[in-house]
Amino acid sequence: MYPTEETREKALLVGVHFPYEEKWEKVDSLEELQNLSKTAGVVVVEKLLQNLQRPNPRSFIGKGKADELGAISSSLGVNTIIFDEELSPSQVANLQSITGEKVIDRTELILDIFAQHAHTKGAQIEVELTQLLYRLPRLTGKGVVLSRLGGGIGTRGPGETKLETDRRRIRARIRTLKKSLKDIEKAKMVQSRRREGMRRIAIVGYTNAGKTSVMNAITKAGLKTDDQLFSTLDATTRVFTSGDRKKYLITDTVGFIRRLPHGIVSSFHSTLEEAVIADLRLHVVDVSHPYVEFQISAGNEILEALGVEKKPSIYVFNKIDLAQDEVGYLRRRFPNSVFTSAVNGMGIDELREMIEGFYKN
């Protein structure tokens, strides 16, 4: 039984704009936060963008602003406030005390989505480990607050019962998860050695850029695609044969997103491993996105964090059927790239030829 709009969480989204930041960036980031919230199953009631000179160390936005958020939440029937920033444990506790509502930040929301979308054992372990490492310093008093404010986003994954135990038991659980993850990585290493000498390709890029659709277009795999953020969390590998009659291994990896904390990138090493060891990366970009180059930069930052920013890659500008006006500029800006519409097959033959050409050279 699926939750109705009446039973789903209702959220107020809060973005903060500082004088040294571009306002359009914060507006777009708040729009992305709304899409993330919808992916998590939340009803977004209202969005607010606050102008601030500097963060308040106690409550990030200051007590007066927090009082206003509490009043707005009460009048709109909101039960969750989601900040488009990373908050400290004390800031979360103070904001919840002032507003009387559950408060989570952008990172907590992303981790909640990961918890919903992790299906393989390895991905589930990575999600739980990352959540525990992130929540451990935020544990003080949180169990009481969560009991009062209810469950929902920010409480999935390990579950409230695990999070409300003492720190010693949580640290023991972290050690167990790390050991389990090492065992899985050892098994993957054995599998990886069996694949040595094979042509290996990784599909990378911003979440919802159409990576799985590109994978389907190349391989005819028929993988499920969804128009939502982080629909793919578990890496999926398929074999395809190109026109040169050679076999290729191609892997669809978890999507990137801006301002993804470094701790998440390092914790998801196993899931992102194929992006590191592949011979070639297909960096898929949604050409229809209004800030397409910003998405490219965000993707490149993740590749840099993985240490593969200088390794061979091909930009695949996808969804050209939705953004013909941008194609000419991007062709001039990125000459050694390919332009595709994975849903109708445009540019896929050219992409296959570029892949073959890479291995020939």
Q: Which SS3 state, helix, strand or coil, does residue 167 take?
A: helix
Print the domain residue range for 235.
195-360
In this prediction, residue 232 carries a pLDDT of 60
Residues 313 and 216 in one domain: yes
Residues 132 and 204 in one domain: no
Residues 256 and 306 in one domain: yes
The answer on whether 222 is annotated among ligand-binding residues is no
Structure tokens at 265: 């990138």
Higher pLDDT pick, 234 / 61 = 61
The answer on whether 37 is annotated among ligand-binding residues is no
Is 39 buried (19+), middle (13-18) or exposed (0-12) by CB count in 10 A?
buried
The answer on whether 52 is annotated among ligand-binding residues is no
The answer on whether 120 is annotated among ligand-binding residues is no
Residues 20 and 120 in one domain: yes
- Which tens digits make up the pLDDT trace of 103-125? 999 999 988 888 888 877 887 88
Among 319, 293, 296, which residue's Cα sits nearest to residue 309?
A: 296
Residues 199 and 133 in one domain: no
Residues 223 and 343 in one domain: yes
The answer on whether 145 is annotated among ligand-binding residues is no
In this prediction, residue 99 carries a pLDDT of 93
Are 61 and 29 in contact, with CB atoms under 8 Å apart? no
pLDDT surpasses 60 at 150: no
- 172 within domain boundaries: no
The answer on whether 361 is annotated among ligand-binding residues is no
29-43, 187-201, 310-324: segment of lowest average pLDDT:
187-201
The answer on whether 206 is annotated among ligand-binding residues is yes
The answer on whether 234 is annotated among ligand-binding residues is yes
pLDDT surpasses 80 at 146: no
Residues 129 and 27 in one domain: yes
The alpha carbon torsion through 47, 53, 54, 57 (nearest 10 deg) reads: -80
- Kind of pairing, strands 102-105 and 80-83? parallel
The answer on whether 143 is annotated among ligand-binding residues is no
- 184 within domain boundaries: no
Residues 135 and 226 in one domain: no
The answer on whether 255 is annotated among ligand-binding residues is yes
The answer on whether 320 is annotated among ligand-binding residues is yes
- Full-model pTM: 0.81
- CATH assignment at residue 154: 3.40.50.11060
In this prediction, residue 148 carries a pLDDT of 43
Task: Please give the tally of structural domains in the chain.
Answer: 2
